[in-house]
Structure 1
Amino acid sequence: MTQTRTTLEGACSSGPDDWLADTRTSYDTVAESYADLVRGAMAGQPYLRAALALFAEQVQAAGGGTVADVGCGPGDITAHLHGLGVDAFGIDLAPAMIEIARRDHPHLRFEVGSMTELPLPDSSVAALLAFWSLIHIPDDLVPAVLRHFHRVLRPGGPLLVGFHVGDETQLKTEGYGGHPMKVHVHRRRPDRVADLLREAGFTVKAQLLVNLDGSLPGAILFACRG
């Protein structure tokens, strides 16, 4: 069972960059177990599949082009988008996750990188996806990350953001096969994330709420670069 400790919203590790190192190390540690857990999981997620299908339609309607899956993990969502006709590639903070993604999806491109210093040129991608990958970013760094998203997207490019809904932050100390972890998981309200997107220069188009009666409700926001 995953062990967590509730902390004040926006809390992070003690040093300014400790949270980033902790997140990288944690996901390197659990990479194999996490990949085993999520492999094939999309088959049981009809609402997420519908959101990704709509996103793929938006990409194609905007003229197509390369799509960045930022925080791609083991690459399952990247591969799902590829199956929908999207020229997707993945970026993840954890090198072990990228190794698994390259192993399991050798026909796709995956790179190690952090969304806090997104290693992509300005206006270089047609669309961008951050599917439950902003959840480990401290509150005070989210605006800068969203500005990076805006910077690398071409004008009018679609953005899809998925995240946990709530008001609290938890410290996750164990997970995915019982391995030790040290990551803060931030839950945020959709209206708050929508405001942050607008402040970063995005136009928010739609919102989908999922798992409303479950223990971990989520939200997906559709937006585009203004």
Structure 2
Amino acid sequence: MTEPEFLTTARAFYDAIAADYADRYRDELAVKPLDRAMLASFAELVQASGGGPVAELGCGPGRVTAHLDGLGLEISGIDLSPGMVALARRTHPGLRFEVGSMLGLDLADGALAGAVAWFSIIHTPQDRLPEVFAEFHRVLAPGGHLLLAFQVGDEPLRVERPFGHPVALDFRRQQPDHITALARTAGLEITARLVREPVAGVEKTPQAYLLARKP
């Protein structure tokens, strides 16, 4: 089967910028207390439900995976970009990282106690998002938790030549009500939503966070 073009484009984009991206965002969580609070809440919910395997889907260089590992979760990372996965393995040798796509995860049904998609649904076209949410539902065990993060907005942002590399990619902003509806249609229960204003000098748009649970 031919791979969708948006996956090929996203992989090439992140392979090209992996090292620069990791350097730029290595300490990002340090100035974002609300982000850390959402991650801590997710970790506590997973642990209170009995714990078990967790995956960060679209883990990039692994900084959020490592943060959640530090909060006591049994976590691994999955990313579309082999370049990002190789970098994550070098940076966090004690954690497991694999190459994979959210459209078809190499995970058994109900394999995860928790899943995190931290700004990783933002490159998926609108008509393919229901497939991604169906996959979230499939891989979560009953009672499993999902944490999503995404930028708020209506128009996509075209990023060209990041860090001077000759690549380009669309960043698709979303409305929280739309993402909430997708999660509910996939069979997930919403447990919390947060929208915060952009961090001055760091971000340009509001940021949204959604916690959901598989019944």
Compute the TM-score of the two structures, normalised by the length of structure 1: 0.90
Whichever residue aligns with residue 221 of structure 1, its letter is L
2:180 to 189, 194, 199: 194
Secondary structure of 1:50's aligned partner: helix
Aligned partner of 1:224 in structure 2 is 213
Q: CA deviation at 1:143?
A: 0.4
Aligned partner of 1:10 in structure 2 is none
Whichever residue aligns with residue 210 of structure 2, its letter is L
Structure 1 segment 59-98 matched on structure 2, within 5 A: 59-98=46-85
Whichever residue aligns with residue 20 of structure 2, its letter is S
1:56 to 36, 43, 50: 43
Render the CA deviation track for 1:116-166: whole Å, top value 9, x for unaligned. Answer: 111111000110000000000100000000000100000010100000101
Secondary structure of 2:60's aligned partner: coil
Give aligned-pair identity as a percent.
47
Once residues 212 and 171 of structure 1 are traced to their aligned partners in structure 2, the CA distance between those partners, rounded to angstroms, is 19
Distance change (3 Å), C-alpha of 1:129 and 1:139: same
How many residues were matched structurally? 211
2:20 to 19, 33, 58: 33
Whichever residue aligns with residue 140 of structure 2, its letter is L
Distance change (3 Å), C-alpha of 1:32 and 1:118: same
Structure 1 segment 158-197 matched on structure 2, within 5 A: 158-175=145-162, 177-197=163-183
Query: RCO (CA 8 Å, sep 6+): is it higher in 1 or 2?
Result: 1
Aligned partner of 1:4 in structure 2 is none
Q: CA deviation at 1:16?
A: 7.5
Find out whether 1:211 has 2:200 as its counterpart. no
Secondary structure of 1:157's aligned partner: strand
Aligned partner of 1:131 in structure 2 is 118
Deviates more, 1:65-74 or 1:178-187: 178-187
Aligned partner of 2:86 in structure 1 is 99
Once residues 127 and 215 of structure 1 are traced to their aligned partners in structure 2, the CA distance between those partners, rounded to angstroms, is 29
Secondary structure of 1:116's aligned partner: coil
Aligned partner of 1:6 in structure 2 is none
Compute the TM-score of the two structures, normalised by the length of structure 2: 0.95
Q: CA deviation at 1:170?
A: 2.5
2:6 to 19, 24, 28: 19
Gaps of 5+ in 2: none
* Consecutive aligned runs of 4 or more in structure 1 exceeding 6 Å deviation: none
Q: CA deviation at 1:64?
A: 0.3
Once residues 123 and 6 of structure 2 are traced to their aligned partners in structure 1, the CA distance between those partners, rounded to angstroms, is 8
Once residues 16 and 101 of structure 1 are traced to their aligned partners in structure 2, the CA distance between those partners, rounded to angstroms, is 24
Q: Aligned-residue CA RMSD in angstroms?
A: 1.4
Secondary structure of 1:54's aligned partner: helix
Render the CA deviation track for 1:32-87: whole Å, top value 9, x for unaligned. Answer: 00010111221111110010000000010110011010000000000000000011
Whichever residue aligns with residue 204 of structure 1, its letter is I
Secondary structure of 1:55's aligned partner: helix
Aligned partner of 1:5 in structure 2 is none
Secondary structure of 1:201's aligned partner: coil
